[in-house]
Structure 1
Amino acid sequence: MKFSIKGFSPIRDASIVLDGLTVVSGENDSGKSTIGKLLFSLIKAARIARNKPNEDIARKQTLRTVLNLVFGKDSRRGLIELKGGVFSEPFCTVEISDDGYIAAYDCPADPFLGGIKDATFIDTPLVWQLFNTYQGIASERAKAVDVGDHFPIQYPFTQFDIYSKLNGSVPGRGERLDDLQERIKKIVGGRIVFENNSPMFQRGDEFYPIFSTATGIQSFGFLQRFMELGLAESERILILDEPEVHLHPKWQIDYAELIVDMVADYGLKVLVTTHNPYMSKALKLFSDRKLREEVNYYYSVKEGNFSRLVEDQELEIVSREMAKPMFLLDTLKAWEDDS
């Protein structure tokens, strides 16, 4: 499947192929997160609108609602397309007008857009730390819905979506899935478990509140829990927005290998956005060994206030652009030594 965006600020032009693992590198404020959020919004809206009365109208209205929740009510204009097969003709086209309304919505009445039934967007481990808070929000919101009241509390839509999934019940687990979880347990020295409906970190016989553990451990906890819940499957896409932010360079490499293994073993589709050379090169190394095909790398190039996406299969642009800060430091050091 190919996902294309035109004119959705700050993205002038971006097209990515979503076969297995897709990696988008680039500077801050170059549109990387926007790509992931738009893809999440399109797939999530189709899933929410399924089986609603007046489905054609509901899908259009639901997408506008989701876009407003994800981007704010100042959703920008743009053209969004999904293409399948040999990527010749779009099977889903959305046009957003200047005022943020859906000017055109031509997508199939199917919650499985491009064969993907759900998307998850993860950009922070804060969800774990606010888990009990989200439990309270969910409870109060349910009460308000039951009596037809308006629920006034606003909360991050993508984070609440993650909470709702993490809070699910664990089905039976297969042998291979246990193997990957054992690797996570070895890396972080324990695992996340649930006690009295609250997440805890178990290390040996000791249990610790999840909010008191390192954010790096919480980041690995997402992968562990998603595998436990059976959410690492071929009909889903996991969007990881700069997952390296809370990880030591060594753990970035471990994390990258786990991502590649989830794609290789379960057929999970993963979109990673990153501005870190450790993450980019680790994903490249492991995907060359274990995936070979169904892997696509891109670099988001800033051009003034806008950006465009270019292919970077061999990480040539990543290596050049992400090395510039080190060259700058070396230059400053040399200047200080000479002064």
Structure 2
Amino acid sequence: MKLKIRNINKIKTADIKLDGLTVIAGANSSGKSTVGKLLFSMVKSQANAEFLNHQSKEEKLRKRVEELYKRANGCFSRYDDAKLAEILPLPISRFIAPLVELTDKEEIKRRLGKISSWIESKDISPRIKSLFSQDIDNISIALGDSKAADIASEVRVFTESEFMNKICSYKTKESKAKLEYDNPNSFLSLEFADDLINQVYFEGDDYLSDATYVESPLYLHILDTLLYAATYQEYQTRPMMTFRGMVPIHIKDLANKLHALQMVPSGKESQSEYGLSELMGGRFAFDKDSKVLKFFSERMGMELSPINIASGIKTFGMVQILLETQVIGNDKILIWDEPENHLHPQWQVTFAELLVKLAKRGIPVIISTHSPYFVQGIRYFSAKHDLETFTNYYLAEEEEDSRLSVIHDVKDDLNQIFSKLAAPLNAIMNVDEARRNRN
């Protein structure tokens, strides 16, 4: 697989192979995380669209219309505004039924335009008007009744959450992203204009069924909080949720996957071949009585709350849970942002080998890092486990003139990565010089 990026958020240009284990190195704010969030959004959007495509046109339209009705009923009174009953009649089926039958695009545009004009005439804030505009656009997309329309609708949801409506690069009007699958005739291509999805192109039947994006192992001890949190879209569609914390979709998605461990029957552990229980001295599981996530320590012979477990153990525990819930696999990509965080250098090396083993088993893995220990660990164990051909290395570097980043292929010259990551340490190595300058 390949991911091509042009003017997306921090990244000016990137052409990235995803055919095994992919490493993107670079300094902070160099666009590494942008790659992961974009890839997550594209994979989830296409996978969700495949599901939506099996729904009827009326089912998809009803979901969008209900969002519009809910917002309108929250902002206006049907008793005080007779026009509301005319524009959005009750029951909802009186609004949906005529639209489902329409095939004339101009007539659809005219009917939805009447709603837009009415909303525009109301004395409400620009933000609320923009939310109504999104509702109407979503209805228009649903009426398209095509897979491309479903993908476009999902892309909008994910990019709003992951990029907070700022997906186009600074001072850039148009942006592009293309995900090419192993079959050269299968791809997903997106074009954005003014931070909104403009065009969707796709070909073939190949696609990844899921993506999992991991930022921090600390999610394990705030799992209940994350499950209770709301996403950006839930805030917009359910006003009563505003008292909850807000998280991007990828965090809520991960929390739900971690929580799914309680559904795994005992004795179905699928991670023993990686030696995770031995490494951690136990395993994570949900307590049968309290339904709370616990760490069952074999070394100590007791149950412990995740908050009392070292962050390094939680890092390996995340992999244990993802394997046992089967949310990563040969058609489900794992995206890990800076996995070296919370890990001692020795455990960075150990975790690097674990990721190599996952990729060796056919699980596509992409990581971002700024740790030379981690890069060297990947390099060493890729050689040891015969994965060098399918391990790719990239370096994200910011251009001085544009302040955007270009992601270079450095597989044949890893010294570029090590020189970049080691530069800050080299600059402070000469302590004697610092003393002389002080004096």
TM range (shorter): 0.7 to 0.9
**Structure 2 counterpart of 1:248:** 344
Per-residue displacement from partner, 1:195-233 (whole Å, max 9, x unpaired)? Answer: 132211121221111122222221111111111122332
Aligned to 2:294: 200
Instruction: Find 2:272's aligned residue among 174, 178, 190.
Output: 178
* Structure with more helix by fraction: 2
1:159-186 deviation per Cα after TM superposition (whole angstroms, max 9, x unaligned): 1101111122226878973221xx2222
The Cα offsets for residues 72-126 of structure 1, whole Å up to 9 and x where unpaired, read as: 1333252101224586x7722101112x11111112485x52xx11101111123
Within 5 Å, give how 1:91-240 maps onto structure 2.
Answer: 91-98=187-194, 100-108=195-203, 113=207, 116-137=208-229, 151-152=241-242, 153=244, 154-168=246-260, 169-170=263-264, 177-180=271-274, 183-195=275-287, 196-204=290-298, 205-240=301-336
Q: Is the 8 A contact 1:82 1:91 kept in 2?
A: yes
Q: Does residue 1:282 correspond to 2:377, yes or no?
A: yes
Unaligned runs of 5+ in 2: 58-144, 169-173
Percent of paired sites with the same residue: 29
The TM-score normalised by the length of structure 1 is 0.88
Given that 1:171 and 1:228 are in contact with CA atoms closer than 8 Å, whether structure 2 keeps it comes out as: no
Q: 1:296 is matched by which residue type in structure 2?
A: N
Q: 1:71, CA displacement in angstroms?
A: 1.2
The match for 1:330 is: 429
Q: Kindly report which structure 2 residues correspond to 1:259-278, keeping only aligned pairs within 5 A, or say none.
A: 259-265=355-361, 267-278=362-373
Please give the per-residue CA displacement for 1:19-74, whole angstroms capped at 9, x wherever unaligned. Answer: 01000001111100000110000001112222324243221011111111111133
SS in structure 1 opposite 2:159? helix
Contact 1:173 1:228 in 2 (8 A): no
Amino acid at match of 1:323: A
One-letter code of the match for 1:325?
A: P
Task: Give the TM-score taking structure 2 as reference length.
Answer: 0.69
- Amino acid in structure 1 at the alignment position of 2:217: P
Report the counterpart of residue 308 of structure 1 in structure 2: 406
- Mean alpha-carbon deviation: is it higher for 41-50 or for 185-194? 185-194
Could you say which residue in structure 1 is the equivalent of 2:162?
Answer: 70
In the alignment, structure 1 segments of 5+ residues that lack a partner are none
Alignment equivalent of 1:318, drawn from 417, 421, 425 = 417
Match of 1:48 in 2: 48
Q: Which has the larger radius of gyration?
A: 2
What is the deviation of 1:327? 1.2
Name which of structure 1's ranges 42-51 and 64-73 shifts more when overlaid on structure 2. 42-51
SS of 1:330's partner is coil
Q: How far is the alpha carbon of 1:151 from its aligned partner?
A: 4.2
CA contact (8 A) 1:11 1:307 kept: yes
Instruction: Give the 3 Å change call, closer, same or farther, for CA 12–333 of structure 1 in structure 2.
Output: farther
2 CA distance for matches of 1:72 and 1:277?
Answer: 32
Contact 1:20–1:270, Cα closer than 8 Å, also in 2:
yes
Alignment of 1:7 with 2:2, yes or no, is no
Q: Which moved more, 1:22-31 or 1:44-53?
A: 44-53
Aligned length: 325
Q: Is the Cα contact below 8 Å between 1:94 and 1:104 reproduced in 2?
A: yes
Larger relative strand fraction: 1
In the alignment, the residues of structure 2 paired with residue 130 and residue 109 of structure 1 have an alpha-carbon distance, to the nearest angstrom, of 40
Checking the alignment, whether the CA contact within 8 Å between 1:239 and 1:271 is kept in structure 2 is yes
